[in-house]
Structure 1
Amino acid sequence: MIVMDSKAQLSVDIIAKVVEGRITIANAAKLLSKSRRSIERYVKRYQQVGIQFAIHGNSGKAPPNKTPVSIKEAVQALIKDKYFDLNLLHLAEQLAENENIVVKRETLRGWAHDIHHVKRAKRRRSNVRKRRERMVAPGLMMQMDGSPHRWFGNKKHCLIAMIDDATSEVYAEFFPSETTVGCLKVMRECIEAKGVFKTLYVDRAGIYGGPKRCNFSQMQRACEELGIEIIFANSPQGKGRIERAFDTFQDRLVPELRLNNISDIMAANAYLKHVFIPQFWQAKIQVKSKQAPEFTPLSKHINLDDICVIKDHRKIRNDHTFSYGNKFYLIDSPLKHSIANQKIEIRNTSKKGFTAHFAGRKLAVSEVNEPSKLASEDLEIQKKLEVLALVEKLGNVSKASRQSGVSRDTIYRHLRLVEQGGPNALKRQETPNIRHKNCVDMEIEKAVIEFSLEHPHLGQQKVALKLTKALGIEVSPNGVRSMWLRNDMNTTALRVVRSQALHES
């Protein structure tokens, strides 16, 4: 059985008419848009094999370079189960590296579309923006930001990163959140590796000295001490280098952390610094600069331990003490002159606590242990014992009563308690829950509670009215509310819950 399409059928009909002499070779060439030589070749083949001349010799045969179906099915299974969150280029790299399967990206695209499983890029409409050229030399501008995301596990962590605008060289580390300590640590890592850069391009967040913390930002203070100028971006697109870097991190780093079963921050930082950045980022993303680096070597007189820390200031009291962290500290260092009413610098380091400095000199301090205040109950017992001591000193209860302002009956009662149980007997005894004389009878309150639970949606006024008409119980709306408060059912929701629990039991 020979299957032909319309084009092949037309070729057969025309060549057959040429053989019969009904159409010339020139007209057949025009009808089929072929050369005269091709028509002559078709006629010769038609005379030898008949209408099969119109069928290509490879028709129905598999191409020799076709990928086996078994490999296609294996790759599709891997996409569904293991590599479901990788883009096509990343998927091709991982298949070649981990599975020893080399497949072109476009072939992978077709296989992924067949199972409706393609990771699509984010498409957002944006305003037309003019492209900004890179800086000509490394160290002229560094961009910095933090990206909160579920990088590993179910909990969000923040990736704080700094990238060179000229070469895209990146310094990054995971932290529980975007904090000043984390930003200072990443900046210090860059300075120790390369030197002091010229400018830092950031957003207007308060952590970098934005409007909310323009007067007390630790990052801004550290940059001023190092001679780094901070530039604030008016939009995220302004610092697009670091924003696009975060897109790449989220697209590639998250699947790799999952594939390596990394779920804690220490392992994630180790993989980021020793595997991802050296093997992928530096090899494929980082570029060469046009000019020599502009980093300034760190001076020997500058100690980063004194700059990349959290600094606070406290005022010295007249007795050379100061408060910090809800505690009092005394300055033990010998001083030639008093520094009372002066401000000292507190450098807070997470590992070593804090150190106090004045005029560039480190001060020795010690914590002042003040006696703790008595509790209210102990203070009350102490006052009673002081009255009893006054009685013993004067030898007369009446004189002690007049001087202390405590009645004689109270003094005699306290004396009896001390004789029976000692000073601890003077503690205030908890009185049992005694009903006030103006409270209604327990039977009436019980009837009100039962009626309220039977009709939990009625208000206090309707409950009082219906009880008066139906049961003849005289009770005011305020009285009903007082009973509700005593029994913790003063709202409709509480009464409904209590009523449902009562019916279920």
Structure 2
Amino acid sequence: MIVMDSKAQLTVDIIAKVVEGKISIANATKLLNKSRRSIERYIKRYQEVGIQFVVHGNCGKSPPNKTPISIKKAVQALIKDKYFDLNLLHLAEQLAENEHIVVKRETLRGWAHDIHHVKRAKRRRSHVRKRRERMAAPGLMMQMDGSPHRWFGNKKHCLIAMIDDATSEVYAEFFPSETTVGCLKVMRDCLEKKGVFKTLYVDRAGIYGGPKRCNFSQMQRACEELGIEIIFANSPQGKGRVERAFETFQDRLVPELRLNNINDIAAANAYLKHVFIPQFWQSKVQVKSKQAPEFTPLSKHINLDDICVIKDHRKIRNDHTFSYGNKFYLIDSPLKHSIANQKIEIRNTSKKGFTAHFAGRKLKISEVNEPSKLASEDLAVQKKLEVLALIEKLGSVSAASRQSGVSRDTIHRHLRMVKRGGPDALKRQETPNIRHKNCVDMEIEKAVIEFSLEHPHLGQQKVAHKLTEALGIDVSPNGVRSMWLRNDMNTTALRIERSLALHESS
């Protein structure tokens, strides 16, 4: 049986009439929109095999370049189990590199659509924005930003990146959060490798000297010392180069970190700097510049250790001491003239502590160890002893009571305590086993605790109501709450944990 569509049926009818002599070949070429040679070939085939000439010779046959079904199923299994968070281009690269399976992108797209595992593109922005051309030369503009994300593991970390607007050359590193220390470190990495750039394009965050920190930004101060101009973007799209870089990092780097079982910052930074950026970014994303680089080499007089640090200022007291970090320090450097009431510069480095500088000169300092203050308990004992000493001075308990404002009963009790155990007896004695007179009986508290562990999801209102109805224990909801607090089970999670531990031990 031959199944034909309307076009094939028309071809058969016309060729049959040509053979019968009812239609000329010239008219058949016009009706079928075919060449005369094709019509003659159709006639010859019709005379040989009949109406089967209309069926193409490859009909029902598999293409010679068709991919085997086994490879298709293997790739779909890998997409489901291993490469579920990769886009199609990244997926094709990983299959070729790791699995040695080469599949064309559109074929891969069809296989992924069949199992509904296509990574969707992000929603496109609706506003039309004018495209800005890249800078002509490297070093004219660097864009910088941080991206908090679950890059690896279950906790969020921040990727701080700096990218050249002309070539997309990137400098990046992971940190626990977006901090000034991290931004200074990434910028220093760029300065050491390339030199001083002209401008830094950033958002209006306080780290870079935005409105909230315009007078005390360490990044702004470091850029001013290096002669770098900071430009603030009015929108995220303004610094789109670094924003799109973060999209690429999140799209490609996150799956690669997962596939390599990387769960800590040190390993993630090593993979980022030694594998991802050299192998992918520099070969696929980074472009060549139109002009020569505009980086300025670092001068011999510039020491990045003195610039890329956290700097504070302190005022010198008249005795040449200053306070920093809740401690006092004395200046030991020999000075020809007094620098009292002058400001010194504190350079804080996380690894080496801090150093003090005045007029570009490093000062020798030493910590001042002051006698520690008495604890509140020692002060209370000292006051009691002063009252007892006042009795010996005045020779009368009543006179000492009137002058000190302490009752005579209290003074007599203190005298007895000193007579029995000396001045140490005046210290407050801890009595953890003695319950307050207003506390409920231990039996009632034990019953409340046992009932709460049996029903850990009930609140204090329902526990008090159930105990009153079932066991006849008259206890208020606030009383139940107090018992929970004493036994460290005041939340549902704590009660469930205690209940599970009790069942496991039994």
Shorter-chain TM-score bucket reads: 0.7 to 0.9
Q: CA deviation at 1:53?
A: 1.0
Q: 1:295 to 1:396 in 2, by over 3 A?
A: same
CA offsets per residue over residues 269-288 of structure 1, 9 Å max, x none?
00000000001111111111
Q: RMSD in angstroms over aligned alpha carbons?
A: 5.5
Look up the match of 1:454.
454
Of 245-254 and 380-389, deviating more is 380-389
Are residue 111 (structure 1) and residue 118 (structure 2) matched?
no
Look up the match of 2:442.
442
Of 479-488 and 345-354, deviating more is 479-488
User: Partner of 2:294: helix, strand, or coil?
Assistant: coil
Q: CA deviation at 1:498?
A: 19
Q: 1:437 to 1:12 in 2, by over 3 A?
A: closer
Of 300-309 and 42-51, deviating more is 42-51
Of 11-20 and 128-137, deviating more is 11-20
Q: 1:114 to 1:222 in 2, by over 3 A?
A: same
CA offsets per residue over residues 120-148 of structure 1, 9 Å max, x none?
21122332222111111111111100011
Are residue 382 (structure 1) and residue 382 (structure 2) matched?
yes
Q: 1:425 to 1:95 in 2, by over 3 A?
A: same
Q: CA deviation at 1:453?
A: 20
CA offsets per residue over residues 255-311 of structure 1, 9 Å max, x none?
111111111111000000000000111111111111111111111111101110000
Alpha-carbon separation, structure 2, partners of 1:65 and 1:163 = 44
Q: CA deviation at 1:24?
A: 2.6
Of 470-479 and 102-111, deviating more is 470-479
Q: 1:121 to 1:391 in 2, by over 3 A?
A: same
Of 375-384 and 61-70, deviating more is 375-384
Q: 1:318 to 1:112 in 2, by over 3 A?
A: same
Q: 1:45 to 1:409 in 2, by over 3 A?
A: closer
Of 396-405 and 124-133, deviating more is 396-405
User: Partner of 2:374: helix, strand, or coil?
Assistant: coil
Alpha-carbon separation, structure 2, partners of 1:334 and 1:392 = 53
Q: CA deviation at 1:64?
A: 0.7
User: Partner of 1:171: helix, strand, or coil?
Assistant: strand
Look up the match of 1:125.
125
TM score, norm. by length of structure 2: 0.84
CA offsets per residue over residues 376-398 of structure 1, 9 Å max, x none?
22112112223434555677767
Alpha-carbon separation, structure 2, partners of 1:210 and 1:389 = 62
Look up the match of 1:161.
161
Greater radius of gyration (CA):
1
Q: 1:18 to 1:235 in 2, by over 3 A?
A: same
Of 348-357 and 327-336, deviating more is 327-336
Alpha-carbon separation, structure 2, partners of 1:359 and 1:18 = 108
Q: 1:325 to 1:36 in 2, by over 3 A?
A: same
Look up the match of 2:40.
40
Q: 1:18 to 1:357 in 2, by over 3 A?
A: same
Alpha-carbon separation, structure 2, partners of 1:500 and 1:93 = 48
1:11-90 equivalences under 5 Å are 11-90=11-90
Structure 2: stretches of 5+ with no match in the other structure: none
CA offsets per residue over residues 224-258 of structure 1, 9 Å max, x none?
01111101111111111111111111111111111
Q: CA deviation at 1:77?
A: 1.2
Q: CA deviation at 1:490?
A: 16
Aligned length: 505
Q: 1:302 to 1:384 in 2, by over 3 A?
A: same
Q: 1:77 to 1:328 in 2, by over 3 A?
A: same
CA offsets per residue over residues 71-99 of structure 1, 9 Å max, x none?
11111111111111111111111111111
Alpha-carbon separation, structure 1, partners of 2:264 and 2:362 = 38
Q: 1:53 to 1:216 in 2, by over 3 A?
A: same
User: Partner of 2:158: helix, strand, or coil?
Assistant: strand
Of 484-493 and 202-211, deviating more is 484-493
Q: CA deviation at 1:442?
A: 17
Q: CA deviation at 1:414?
A: 3.0
Structure 1: stretches of 5+ with no match in the other structure: none
Q: 1:318 to 1:75 in 2, by over 3 A?
A: same
Q: 1:470 to 1:9 in 2, by over 3 A?
A: closer
Q: 1:400 to 1:276 in 2, by over 3 A?
A: same
Alpha-carbon separation, structure 1, partners of 2:296 and 2:181 = 23
Alpha-carbon separation, structure 1, partners of 2:119 and 2:366 = 60
Q: 1:299 to 1:499 in 2, by over 3 A?
A: closer
Q: CA deviation at 1:45?
A: 1.2
Q: 1:216 to 1:484 in 2, by over 3 A?
A: closer
Alpha-carbon separation, structure 1, partners of 2:421 and 2:88 = 84
User: Partner of 1:113: helix, strand, or coil?
Assistant: helix
Alpha-carbon separation, structure 2, partners of 1:211 and 1:52 = 81
Identity score, percent = 91
